[in-house]
Amino acid sequence: MPLSSPPPRQEPAASWITHRRRPLAVLAAIAVATTGAAVAATPAGALTYVTDERGVVWQIHDAAPPSLDTGSIRVATGSPIQGFGSILVRVDGLDAADEPRLNGEMARGYGLTQTAEGSFDTTQALDLGGVLATRDVDLDAAGATARFVDSFTNTTDRELTVNVSFGGSLGYGTGTNQSLVRATSSGDTTVDAADSWAVMSTSVENSRPVGVALGAPGSLSGTGNQQRDPFTTPLSTSGHEASFYGFIDELTLEPGASASLARFVHVGVPGADRLAQAEQRLAAIAAAPDLGGLPLAQVCSVANWDVTALPGYDAAACDAAGPIPMPAAPQTPAAVTSVAYDVVGRTIEDLQADMVAGVVTSEEITQAYLDRIAVYDGGPQGFHAYLHVAGDALDQARAADAERAAGGSGELLGIPIALKDLFDTSDMPTTGGTRALEGFQPAQDAFQVARLREAGAVLIGKANLSEFANSGGQSESGWMQTWNALYPSKTSYGSSGGSAVAVAASMASAAMGTQTGVSLYAPTTGASLTTFRGTDGMASGHGVIPLTWYQDYAGPIARTTTDLAYLLNATTGTDAGDPLTVEADARRPADWTDSLDAAALEGKVVGFIPASFVSSYADDGTGESTRERLDELVAAGATLQEMPAPPVVPGAPGGSRGMEGWARYIELHDNFPFVDGNAILASDKVLPYNRRSLGTTPRLTPEQVQAWDDYRKRYKAEIAAWMDAAGVDVVAYPGFLSDMYNNDAAASQLTSDRASGVLTSNVGLPTVVVPVGLNPHGYTTSLQLVGRAWDDAAVLGMGYALEQEADAQQHTTFAPPLAYDPDFTDVDRSNQFFREISWLADRGISTGWAEADGTATFRPLLPIARDAMAAFLYRYVAPVGYEAPEVSPFTDVAVGDQFYTEIAWLAESGISTGWEVGEGAFEFRPLDPIARDAMAAFLYRLADSPDVEAPGTTPFTDVAPGDQFATEIGWLAATGVSTGWQGNDGTAIYQPLNPIARDAMAAFLYRFDRLDLGVGAGGSAG
């Protein structure tokens, strides 16, 4: 359809609110003539709410924040819809290398925009391996029906098969929330190819049934389970999964051909005759499917209805209609990296060992992660883990490399770490995931962030989260919603989903998150990672945006418990700014890694509560299979002990801990844009389902603060007594009790069942989460080990022992290693100066020679000419605003010569004076190779001629103290920029008059940059 300016408003020919589409020229009679009805919608600035004539509110996942952009229905008031109307698309017939990366997963990223009331247009096509896809959604306000039109065009040169599953969830469980097929067009309750429509509903009379008009009889190719792989998993007719509908159509597309699918979702009325009315409405839709308002080519391409039978059909008009109008698909970055070192799946321990061994630098590691972020995080198919990527990440990495070169060391030195965007950062925005705080820049770091900087970590970016950390089910901010790294149609969980996905997709080595309820363990379980929530007060929350004071906990997410220990070494401890941490220094171990013992479970008693492994609604075997994983604890030397339910401590104090948290946080910031928590939560920039009316809820009184402190401590003591009575060291709980579910529902039950009763957050107890295997449907599972207050180190150690025994971490196949794209084909990883030459290319200092085959060569052993050296130094410094003089300083360099600007700058900077040839004239001799002594002089002057004492001796036997450039060469050796050639007798030579080769020049400049003299591009050594 045309996507420029919309046509003039037309009087409706049908009930569809489609005024922005161009009228049909030939098939105008196709539409069923009714009167158009008005639809109310929220402004385009949030998940779009559309209210039909009956007052039913349809929440449409369009491109408005949080930008899930699937076109599916999040919920519709009074109906069992929980994420319905999505499509999963599988393209067959392509070579493996050409298949869509997310083949068979939920389609998203159309740029769906509401262009008229209740009508949503695609603004950018999806490119699914050369099949372009668009989606248009239109709501009929009077008929309470949404029309979904999905179009596909094959732009490849081969025939392709496109399987499309349309559907989603209409409830859950086996009770009153379960929706079963109640009627079909063929008269039974089994949906098959003979059916043109089906009606589903719960058993509750006041629940609205949902009907789907599928297509003409014979068009449907099958049904499946939309929560799993619908193309291989049949639709259940009973049990929990009977509510997960997938209606499948198969399209065969010749090269250049297009086809469309039109489905209609009707939300019926409640009451005794609800099913009869829904059946009547679906039968009417199927008898005359309304395709009004669509472009002619799109109507003619509809494959699941017999358009030839519709009134007004004209075969000649269809033949002449041409291709379906489609917007362009956005360009996707090439899946390549400029770094040969592969960071995929690497732990902090791995990275640190390789940096210490000289295999890789922090700069290379950071660049590799940045390359992966560029390829895998943004765009329609991105994971959307990051809200902000640090612009100075490489500078941080170079500083870490310089510290290491100067003899520094540390467990986190040079390690890139992501931060949930609740942590204050003085150099990056801190938004809490809400547009209400867009642009807010704290003046200081959170306590834990400052500790990470002190440890030398590279803070690579701020991770996405659920707005205000509100949700444990999804991570949906005011900008985006994060997708699961292992199962890309699923939720990432919340609220630390961005942190977990950044690590699971190898876009950071580790991350910091927070937990008030489940927000560390749920995303970690969903990503098959590890996390640790310490005892209340083990880690500071100072400078972390709050949700619930005292219960909030800021902690790490990593691949292994060893990595957790490294992070805990840096981030835990007493903070004068957080009174809750007063005991932390006395309670924390001097080194958390000391607790990492594979025998830590030997002789221990692990308690478990049988009911904690039983779901109240899911029947997929997750709880049972996770309980079986308790055997891993036994294998590691523990004994299992059944326990009764834990005590519930009554007397929770009153007052708003939420407002208390906001008050404490706002007090830290002179520039905070809201006066209190009431004001920020009422901002019109908050997502509508999180927004509150402006209230006057006060913060806690001092008496309430003390009462909460007393209550939490009393609760800890009660749980310790309960554990003592059972004789257990820790209590094991499951991570999830069900499969993981798609990312477009609202109900927490359709993210996963997490209702295990785990005590961690409500009491404030140390808990380690470790992946332990797969559930019966192939989803990763975890166990949580919960200890007594202040048993933190012991709990981490037992998690380590479980991790060694289970060895069950899963890795994503949807973010594979990037292809290494070498800068120069004649410089491979084995080259002595590979790192230095790659750095030269990455910085844009050298582009090498372009070869006829499109590649580039560096020619490392060639001597470097003086004009090229001038260009290298000029690009390295990147002087801002420099303008070359109109008269050349050298007689042998003309104003129009290739490197005139660079050579003139070299002269004006005093780096090179050239050769005096008489009468005040100078030559530069641009094509002569530069000698090694002159190179020393160039770099010495570039460093602003440091004040060094002329040497009495030199480090090189072939350079005498009185030689022309002895001072400069001595300085070069003293700073480590050049080591010369070492002889067997312990002496070294410099070979000052030899031409310097291009590879050695790269090494000189690379080492010079590490001196951090502030002369590199941007005023620093980076």
pLDDT digits (tens, 9 = 90+) for 219-234: 999 999 999 999 999 9
Residue 267: phi and psi, rounded to 5, are -105, 115
- Tell whether the model's pLDDT for residue 913 goes beyond 90: no
What's the chain's average pLDDT? 93
- Tell whether the model's pLDDT for residue 1003 goes beyond 60: yes
Q: What is the pTM of this model?
A: 0.87
Residue 1007: phi and psi, rounded to 5, are -70, -35
**Banded model confidence at residue 1016, pLDDT cuts 50, 70, 90:** low
420 noted as active-site residue: yes
Q: Return the amino acid letter for 723.
A: M
For residue 146, list its beta bridge partners: 139, 265
* Nearest-angstrom CA–CA distance, 526 and 524: 5
- Which residue among the candidates 301, 495, 752, 888 is catalytic per the annotation? 495
pLDDT at residue 821 in the model: 87
pLDDT at residue 47 in the model: 84
pLDDT at residue 938 in the model: 93
- Which residue among the candidates 15, 519, 595, 846 is catalytic per the annotation? 519
Identify the burial level of 328 via C-beta atoms within 10 angstroms of its C-beta, where 0-12 means exposed, 13-18 middle and 19 or more buried. exposed
Could you write out the DSSP letters of every residue in 148-194?
EEEEEEE-SSS-EEEEEEEEEES--SSSTT--EEEEETTSSS---TT
pLDDT digits (tens, 9 = 90+) for 454-501: 999 999 999 999 999 999 999 999 999 999 999 999 999 999 999 999
524-546 exposure pattern, b = at least 16 Cβ within 10 A, e = fewer? bbbbbbbbbbbbbbbbbbbbbbb
**Banded model confidence at residue 195, pLDDT cuts 50, 70, 90:** very high
**Banded model confidence at residue 19, pLDDT cuts 50, 70, 90:** very low
- Which residue among the candidates 420, 462, 604, 716 is catalytic per the annotation? 420
* Nearest-angstrom CA–CA distance, 385 and 388: 9
Q: Tell me the average pLDDT across 56-84.
A: 97
* Nearest-angstrom CA–CA distance, 278 and 208: 9
- Tell whether the model's pLDDT for residue 154 goes beyond 50: yes
Per CATH, domain 336-806 is 3.90.1300.10: yes
Residue ranges of domains in the chain? 32-319, 336-806, 822-1019
Query: In the chain, pLDDT over 70 holds for what percent of residues?
Result: 95
pLDDT at residue 986 in the model: 80
Query: In the chain, pLDDT over 90 holds for what percent of residues?
Result: 87
- Tell whether the model's pLDDT for residue 1019 goes beyond 50: no
Contact call for residues 876 and 843 (beta carbons, < 8 A): yes
pLDDT at residue 1013 in the model: 79
Which CA distances in Å does 523 have to 62, 560, 736?
24, 15, 11
- Ramachandran sector of residue 249 (left: φ over 0; alpha: ψ -120 to 50; beta: rest): beta
Q: Tell me the average pLDDT across 107-130.
A: 97
User: Which long-range contacts (C-beta less than 8 Å, at least 24 apart) are formed by 19-24?
Assistant: 19/116, 19/119, 19/293, 20/115, 20/116, 20/119, 20/121, 21/119, 21/293, 21/294, 21/295, 22/295, 23/293, 24/292, 24/293, 24/294, 24/295, 24/296, 24/299
Q: Tell me the average pLDDT across 586-614.
A: 98
* Nearest-angstrom CA–CA distance, 433 and 479: 7
Token readout for 807 is 């060895």
For the chain, counts of helices (H) and of strands (E) = 23, 36
CA 617, distance to chain mean position in Å, is: 30
Which CA distances in Å does 101 have to 128, 224, 368, 504, 839?
8, 22, 20, 16, 30
Q: Domain 32-319: give its CATH architecture.
A: Distorted Sandwich (2.70)
Picking from 214, 210, 165, the residue whose alpha carbon sits closest to that of residue 186 is: 214
Q: Tell me the average pLDDT across 61-77.
A: 97
* Nearest-angstrom CA–CA distance, 56 and 79: 9
pLDDT at residue 28 in the model: 33
For residue 76, list its beta bridge partners: 58
How many CA atoms are closer than 13 Å to the CA of 106, on its beta-carbon side? 32
Pairing verdict, β 416-420 and 510-515: parallel
Token readout for 977 is 């920029």
* Nearest-angstrom CA–CA distance, 369 and 388: 14
**Banded model confidence at residue 830, pLDDT cuts 50, 70, 90:** confident
Picking from 543, 430, 529, the residue whose alpha carbon sits closest to that of residue 486 is: 529
Q: Tell me the average pLDDT across 896-902.
A: 95
DSSP 943: T
Rounded to the nearest 10 degrees, what angle do helices 900-908 and 866-877 cross at? 70
**Banded model confidence at residue 515, pLDDT cuts 50, 70, 90:** very high
Which 3 state secondary structure label does DSSP give 321?
coil
What count of other Cβ atoms lies within 10 Å of the Cβ of residue 219? 18
pLDDT digits (tens, 9 = 90+) for 953-980: 889 999 999 899 999 999 999 998 988 8
DSSP 610: G
519 noted as active-site residue: yes
Contact call for residues 670 and 443 (beta carbons, < 8 A): yes
713 noted as active-site residue: no
pLDDT digits (tens, 9 = 90+) for 357-402: 999 999 999 999 999 999 999 999 999 999 999 999 999 999 999 9
pLDDT at residue 46 in the model: 61
Angle at 927 between CA 921 and CA 933, to 5 degrees: 80
- Tell whether the model's pLDDT for residue 611 goes beyond 60: yes
* Nearest-angstrom CA–CA distance, 679 and 431: 15
